[in-house]
């Protein structure tokens, strides 16, 4: 069965966005970029909530016209070629090799996990990750902790209900300043 891998950047005080929605604080160094590409290349599909989808689909299709960052230039063709799943109750279609689901989240995502193919890479955002965590559908958490205190904003998993025991699958320092924490649900 395919796994859902949640890959997210977080501040030391636990936020994925600053108080005004800012996301200008993550630093994409060469080691983090390589790790990100490894996750993307093993993915059979990218998994997005509607808000993250709107941001991604507004940036990656034509990124070469606005960025010359090596990470962006390397990731753009991967993003365009990889199938995408967008969870939304309002979108009917999404374009860019994406299918829209969201009427029955548990059943639809479980069915997608049973399909053949690589992992489902869920990046950024909190809403979908929060919902899938509550349903017990997230198989791995890859959390990159950045050395910044935001003092408020959007918390990593804001509506988590009850305790979810996790086990550490690995950790490492990236680019001499970031800490990657890789967790799985405890068995």
181 domain residue, yes or no:
no
127 domain residue, yes or no:
yes
| Residue 132: predicted pLDDT | 94
- Distance, in Å, from the CA atom of 43 to the CA atom of 144, rounded to the nearest integer, reads 18
CATH number of the domain that residue 110 is part of: 3.40.430.10
| Residue 163: predicted pLDDT | 84
State the CB neighbour count (10 A cutoff) for residue 168: 10
143 domain residue, yes or no:
yes
Domain that holds residue 47: 38-158
State the CB neighbour count (10 A cutoff) for residue 86: 25
State the CB neighbour count (10 A cutoff) for residue 174: 19
17 domain residue, yes or no:
no
33 domain residue, yes or no:
no
| Residue 161: predicted pLDDT | 74
Split into its structural domains, the chain has a count of 1
163 domain residue, yes or no:
no
Question: pLDDT (tens digit, 9 = 90+) per residue, 114-123?
Answer: 999 999 999 9
Contact call for residues 101 and 86 (beta carbons, < 8 A): yes
1 domain residue, yes or no:
no
Q: What is the pTM of this model?
A: 0.94
| Residue 162: predicted pLDDT | 76
User: What stretches in the chain show pLDDT beneath 70?
Assistant: none
């Amino acid at each position: 069965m395919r796994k859902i891998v949640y890959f997210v950047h977080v501040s030391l005080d636990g936020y994925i966005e600053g108080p005004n929605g800012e996301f200008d604080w993550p630093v994409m160094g060469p080691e983090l970029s390589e790790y990100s590409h490894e996750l993307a290349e093993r993915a059979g599909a990218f998994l997005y909530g509607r808000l993250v989808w709107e941001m991604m689909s507004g940036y990656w299709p034509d990124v070469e016209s606005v960025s010359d960052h090596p990470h962006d230039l390397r990731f753009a063709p991967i993003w365009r070629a990889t199938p995408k799943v967008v969870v939304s109750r309002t979108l009917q279609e999404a374009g860019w090799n994406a299918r829209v689901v969201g009427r029955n989240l548990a059943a639809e995502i479980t069915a997608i996990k049973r399909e053949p193919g690589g992992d489902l890479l869920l990046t950024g955002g909190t809403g979908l990750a929060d919902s899938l965590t509550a349903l017990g559908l997230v198989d791995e958490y890859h959390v990159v902790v950045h050395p910044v205190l935001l003092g408020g904003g959007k918390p990593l998993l804001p509506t988590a209900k009850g305790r979810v025991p996790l086990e550490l699958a690995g950790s490492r320092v990236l680019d001499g300043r970031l800490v990657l924490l890789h967790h799985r649900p405890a068995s």
